[in-house]
Structure 1
């Protein structure tokens, strides 16, 4: 299981890369679950990561664009795709508009990863449709990070079915949504291809800066190289209230 960490700047990206993160995801956490960065910032982060070498994957979100704005979604995908990322992440809400948006995304020229927003459950027919369209990967994530984790939004059997549907199609599959270090056993049991984190590795909430100690501890935990020990609390640190 690979580790995905969301970053918002060159400094955060280099910190994540230096810690051994496999999958570096570019977003603006202060702008929502899939808040988008300006394309200039995305391009600068991608360039810095490419100069640093290594084979880590880089993704970027397009922002929280409503499903009924399909032409705008495609324009955003094209703008982000031109920045040189490996994958463009697009949120897919549980609405009747999801199916035509998936069809439009499958027809575009960029490697898109649909991110199924799980707050109101998953429409498994749409997930199966996405997998049949040949996307390189799919994810499940949550919109409201303050209401709990992905494991609070969906029962385990639904997550198992989500992963099995992707696996049967040969599609990469990831899980995210207010995930914590404490979820490591559940994640290992489900065994997605990657798991995504943000404020679990921040000193404060998900809009705060990455904390090197938390980041290295999480990498160690997921690599089975160390037992996770949360960094000591201090007046400068607050318990994270939301994640990825």
Structure 2
């Protein structure tokens, strides 16, 4: 088992908090973190029955493990497929822009040429395009493609993420993350991806992924769906399970994003029930038609307004 203290690349003298926010280097995980992870996340690691999921998805109350934390400032991530869509998203007030090709899978990568063009547009902006404070995210695909492309991610990118489909053991996941971290530029933060429909993807549960991420020194987790035809992350996991994950993540210092065909109505319902991810990630919900359509400026305004006023 990989120890979070085994960092083959060495560590600089910056604080652990700064490191996990701005680098893919592993954090120095305190023993108390891992002890609490074992208690908080392992007890959540279960596969509820279909009827339980359905009941949780419609339950008006989410049992909490303690006093509710204060609501965070929830960021909106919008996935775009090219520079033109990135410009629309930025003009619509989106400050976290993700690059992926939605017609080819949940986390299918666009071309490295598009990564570079969007990165150059954002970093070379002189104030003409409202790019100040923009963070870029890159989808690398699943294990068979991610390692091939990781070393081409621009150093100016903030986040990189790759799916874990087919990796059904802790050892396989940790080996994959080691390979990715060795390939990614040092400033890029590696995000641990968990699938709500993990059985379909043939991988570990969100709770298991989060626990491994802590052990490995990763503090950013994305919950997504592998198959887009099977329903949203909320429908897959249920309101109670997502609520328990949110509380454990807040307690353990995990920054987490919720994606997976989440619509505005579901998001408003989750926020009302104090299920507060740090980030909501969308694609189809801000497109004309389905997720393969084009970005709609009007829908962007609806989402940014909702989260700004939440």
**Normalised TM-score (structure 2):** 0.65
Query: Which residue is equivalent to 2:97?
Result: 24
Kindly tell me: are residues 103 and 165 of structure 1, through their superposed partners in 2, closer, same or farther at Cα, counting changes over 3 Å?
Answer: farther
SS, match of residue 63 in structure 1: coil
Task: State the distance in 2 between where 1:181 and 1:169 align.
Answer: 27
Task: State the distance in 2 between where 1:131 and 1:166 align.
Answer: 10
C-alpha contact (below 8 Å) 1:36/1:64 kept by paired residues: no
- Larger RCO of the pair (alpha carbons < 8 Å, separation 6+): 2
Kindly tell me: are residues 126 and 214 of structure 1, through their superposed partners in 2, closer, same or farther at Cα, counting changes over 3 Å?
Answer: closer
Task: State the distance in 1 between where 2:85 and 2:94 align.
Answer: 11
1:64 aligns with 2:137: no
Q: What is the RMSD of the two structures over their aligned residues, measured on CA atoms?
A: 2.2
Offset at 1:83?
A: 5.5
1:33 aligns with 2:111: no
Equivalent positions of 1:138-157 (< 5 A) are 138-157=221-240
Q: Across the two proteins, how many residue pairs are aligned to each other?
A: 219
Task: State the distance in 1 between where 2:166 and 2:240 align.
Answer: 19
Aligned mate of 1:213, from 288, 294, 298: 298
Farther off after superposition, 82-91 or 97-106: 97-106
Equivalent positions of 1:53-202 (< 5 A) are 53-65=131-143, 69=144, 73-80=146-153, 82=154, 84-93=156-165, 95-97=167-169, 99-106=171-178, 108-109=181-182, 110=184, 111-120=189-198, 122-188=205-271, 189-202=274-287
5+ unaligned residues in a row in structure 2: which ranges?
1-73, 126-130, 200-204
Offset at 1:213?
A: 0.9
Query: Which residue is equivalent to 1:9?
Result: 82
After superposition, give the CA deviation of every residue in 1:42-79 in whole Å (9 maximum; x if it has no partner).
111111122233112110101233xxx5xx54333222
Larger-Rg structure: 2
C-alpha contact (below 8 Å) 2:100/2:109 kept by paired residues: yes
SS, match of residue 98 in structure 2: strand
**Normalised TM-score (structure 1):** 0.81
5+ unaligned residues in a row in structure 1: which ranges?
226-244
